[in-house]
């Protein structure tokens, strides 16, 4: 009983000093603060002393150049194939295509551009950063950039539009397409092999695109077929 009393006093002193020593060590080390090294730096994990806080807006860790955060679309290289919108698991890419009457340009890798993008919106508020859209992109115009700080006051500001067409241009292109389709319908109803021959050469790519485009819209969502799995389980119970 008495020995326990003295043991208590002794342990109180030893443990208190240990605690005070530990906290004082941290207090002394507060003279140093962690440097903002990149995680690729070999010293990154060796900084275990000093102030750990990152004073974020004033300083930030360097992000690797291949960081995969905010999406960016280089609209000049985009062929508006809609693959990204289709693969997106959260449907954050919204594209409104307008078929051109012919090839109106080429991307940097030489792919002909045949569809105008009246709208190419990416809602970063919905994005889940899976990166599937960038892998399916045939011209590699859709990429993830290392910019990560794009917080906004209004949630609508998370919607980034990459299309560069003005409303007037969109209207013009739509009219052109309508006229073109109209002409084509007329030519189909009264086929004149003589006249269409030179035309076909120019127009040939268009029906191809048309086919792909029409196929784009068809497979909207696979029909939901309820599986009997849950029911089976219930039967087991």
Partner 1 sequence: MTTVIFFLPFLLLFVVFGVYAERKISAFIQDRYGPMEVGYYGLLQTVADLLKLIQKEDIVPDKADRKLFLIAPIVIFIVIFTSFSLLPLSPDWQGSSVQTGVFFLMAIISLDVIGIIMAGWASNNKFSLLGAIRSAAQIIAYEVPLTLSILCVLVITQTLDLQTISYQQGIWSTVITDEPNYLFGLAVTNINITEVGGILTWNVVRMPLLFLVWVIYFISSLAECNRAPFDLPEAESELVAGFQTEYSGFRWSIVALSEYAMMLLVSLLGVILFFGSWNTPLPNLGNIELATWTSGTLGSPSAYLWGIFWLVSKTFVMIFLQMWARWTFPRVRIDQLMSLGWKYLTPIALIFLLFCSIWRLLML
Site of interaction with partner 1 (CB under 8 A): 5, 8-9, 16, 19-20, 22-24, 26-27, 29-30, 33, 50-53, 55
Quick check: 123 and 159 in contact, CB under 8 A? yes
Helix axes 167-189, 193-203, angle to 10 degrees: 140
For residues 84 and 101, give the distance between their C-alpha atoms in angstroms, rounded to a whole number: 23
Q: Is 205 within 8 Å of 112 (Cβ atoms)?
A: yes
Nearer to partner 1, 27 or 45 (CB): 27
Q: Could you tell me the smallest distance in angstroms from the CB atom of residue 31 to partner 1?
A: 9
Q: Which is nearer to partner 1, 4 or 229 (CB)?
A: 4
Measured CA to CA, the distance from residue 175 to residue 171 in angstroms comes to 6
DSSP state of 43: T
The residue (of 24 and 106) whose beta carbon lies closer to partner 1 is: 24
- Whole-angstrom distance, CA of residue 68 vs CA of residue 126: 16
Closest CA to 175 of 87, 71, 119, 98: 98
Q: How far is the CB of 147 from partner 1 (least distance, A)?
A: 25
Q: Closest distance between partner 1 and the C-beta of residue 52, in Å?
A: 5
Judged by beta carbon, residue 22 or residue 147, the one nearer partner 1 is 22
Give least dist CB 53 to partner 1, A.
5
For partner 1, give the closer residue by CB, 55 or 185. Answer: 55
Angle at 134 between CA 133 and CA 136, to 5 degrees: 65
Per this entry, what is the length of the chain?
237
Whole-number minimum distance, CB 2 to partner 1, in Å?
Answer: 12
């Amino acid at each position: 009983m008495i020995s326990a009393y003295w043991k208590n006093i002794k342990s109180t002193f030893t443990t208190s000093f240990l605690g005070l020593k530990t906290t004082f060590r941290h207090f002394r080390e507060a003279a140093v603060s962690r440097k903002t090294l990149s995680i690729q730096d070999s010293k990154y994990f060796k900084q275990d002393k000093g102030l750990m806080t990152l004073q974020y807006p004033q300083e930030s860790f360097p992000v690797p150049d291949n960081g995969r955060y905010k999406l960016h679309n280089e609209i000049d290289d985009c062929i508006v194939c809609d693959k990204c919108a289709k693969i997106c698991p959260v449907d954050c890419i919204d594209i409104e295509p307008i078929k051109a009457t012919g090839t109106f340009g080429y991307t940097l890798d030489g792919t002909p551009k045949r569809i105008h993008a009246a709208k190419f919106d990416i809602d970063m508020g919905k994005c889940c950063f899976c990166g599937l859209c960038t892998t399916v992109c045939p011209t590699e115009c859709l990429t993830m950039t290392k910019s990560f700080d794009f917080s906004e006051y209004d949630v609508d500001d998370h919607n980034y539009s990459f299309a560069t067409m003005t409303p007037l241009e969109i209207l013009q292109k739509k009219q052109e397409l309508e006229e073109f389709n109209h002409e084509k319908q007329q030519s189909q109803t009264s086929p004149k092999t003589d006249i269409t021959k030179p035309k076909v050469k120019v127009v040939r790519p268009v029906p191809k695109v048309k086919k792909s485009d029409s196929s784009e819209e068809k497979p909207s969502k696979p029909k939901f077929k309820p599986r009997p799995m849950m029911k089976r389980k219930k039967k087991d119970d």
